[in-house]
Amino acid sequence: MPAPKIYVGLLGKTNVGKSTFFSAATLVPVKIENRPFVTLEPDEAIAYVRKTCVHKELGLPGCTPVSSLCINGERFIPIVLVDLPGLVKDAHKGRGLGNKFLDSIRQADALIHVIDVSGSTDEDGRPVKPGYRDPIEDVVEIENEYDEWMYGIISKDWPRFARGLDTMNQSQVIEALAQRLSGLSITKSHVAKALAITKLENSKPSSWREEELRLFIKTLREVSKPIVIAANKIDIPEAKDLFKKLVKRLPNRIIVPVTALGELMLRRFVEKGFVEYLPGDTEFRIKDRSVFTQQQLKGLELLKEIMKEFGGTGVQKALNSVVFNALNKIVVYPVEDENRYTDSKGNILPDAYLVTKGSRAIDLAYLVHTDLGKRFLYAINAKTKQRVGKEYELKDDDVIKIVAAV
């Protein structure tokens, strides 16, 4: 059974390069016969996170993935990228496509916020001279829109609702708040974490001041929908200083320098066989210079310099950062034969599951199949050949066999 889908929402105002990022991230460098997650909405597509495949650590000559890809020893694991409608200031009041955006964002597990770090688009996305706008304003305004939208949902009839919460114990309060926000894909663990961070877990909700309610909502948004900032258009000269200022002013945020246009160009040239490049590489190789115009060659040389300075185009790094850092995922490989590392059909390391750090062997069993979880007896760590119990905490790159009762 394929691993559960991870949804990553792509947000940003008009003309910041969001559509270019979406196109670049979902243009696959190889033909795929069995595309995973085939039933997608029009604004959704498959992107991939990249990680060195465990077959190299195991000393195997290769693997035969079923639900992911392995190229040159690198495992590409599918996620769903959702291209959210463009967002503008005052979207929570219904301006622009605000309501459509805020409705689309519900299913996202995490977000990549594409901003124009060159400052060449104003607050409504209209082109301006590079350096004109401070990109931090886009970060603040977009996140504020989301907070205001959530505040509008939870503050509605809050006094009466909060009085009801006062009569409950802590677990019931968490349950009631999660239920009220369940349409936003917010869970009890999200609510509990936000209450703990804001230190509101021991106070009566009816006593919360407006600023405390807003703080709780902001924290809940940060916990339930973590955001990675893709600082796009880093290839524009004015962007470098603005990027440095952005990182300095937002020291605790994940900010990735990106040239989405550069990534898209490379992936298209790979498709045509003109360039050798794997998404996430820090460099590329031109196969035949004669197929390019002088202008194209000049653009590619400029891109080489940008990639050398920033460690790549940033698109793959942004995808990896949102899954492995913001969502705290690790990769685990379930198998049926712990000696040959295969499934029942002989496929070597067929599946790579993205699971949350701290997950246990029993959690993996349920992810693979509900019946496997219900009939769980024990698991085998295929690397060590040791038997482990249901409480065994999974580690990154674990290869696990689940043994269940017949």
pLDDT band at 72 (very low <50, low <70, confident <90, very high): very high
Average pLDDT over residues 322-348: 97
Asked whether residue 265 carries a pLDDT value surpassing 80, the answer given is yes
Q: Write the CATH number of the domain with boundaries 329-404.
A: 3.10.20.30
Q: What's the pLDDT score for residue 102?
A: 62
Q: Which class in CATH covers the domain with range 145-222?
A: mainly alpha
Q: How confident is the model at residue 2 (pLDDT cuts 50, 70, 90)?
A: low
92-134 confidence digits (pLDDT tens): 566 555 556 666 777 899 999 999 999 999 988 889 999 999 9
CA 108 to chain centre: 9
Distance between alpha carbon 79 and the CA centroid of its chain, in Å?
8
Cα gap 176→161, rounded to integer Å: 9
Reply yes or no on whether the pLDDT at 35 is more than 60: no
User: How many angstroms separate the CA atoms of 308 and 96, rounded?
Assistant: 39
pLDDT higher at 95 or 50: 50
pLDDT band at 156 (very low <50, low <70, confident <90, very high): confident
Q: How far apart are CA 261 and CA 211, in angstroms?
A: 41
- Amino acid 296 reads Q
Of residues 146 and 190, the one with the higher pLDDT is 190
Domain ranges across the chain: 7-131+227-324, 145-222, 329-404
In terms of CATH architecture, what is 7-131+227-324? 3-Layer(aba) Sandwich (3.40)
Average pLDDT over residues 381-399: 98
CA dist 327 and 356 (Å) reads: 7
> Looking at 4-13, 69-78, 293-302, which range is the least confident one?
4-13
For residue 307, what is the enclosing H or E element?
helix 294-310
Burial class of residue 67, CB neighbours in 10 A (0-12, 13-18, 19+): middle
Q: What is the pLDDT of residue 32?
A: 47
Any residues with CB less than 8 A from the CB of 11 and at least 6 apart, and which? 18, 84, 87, 101, 105, 111, 112, 113, 114, 142
* pLDDT score recorded for residue 90: 65
Percent of residues, the chain, with pLDDT higher than 70 = 91
Indicate the average pLDDT of the chain.
Answer: 91
For residue 269, name the pLDDT band (cuts at 50, 70, 90): very high
Q: Averaged over 213-232, what is the pLDDT?
A: 95
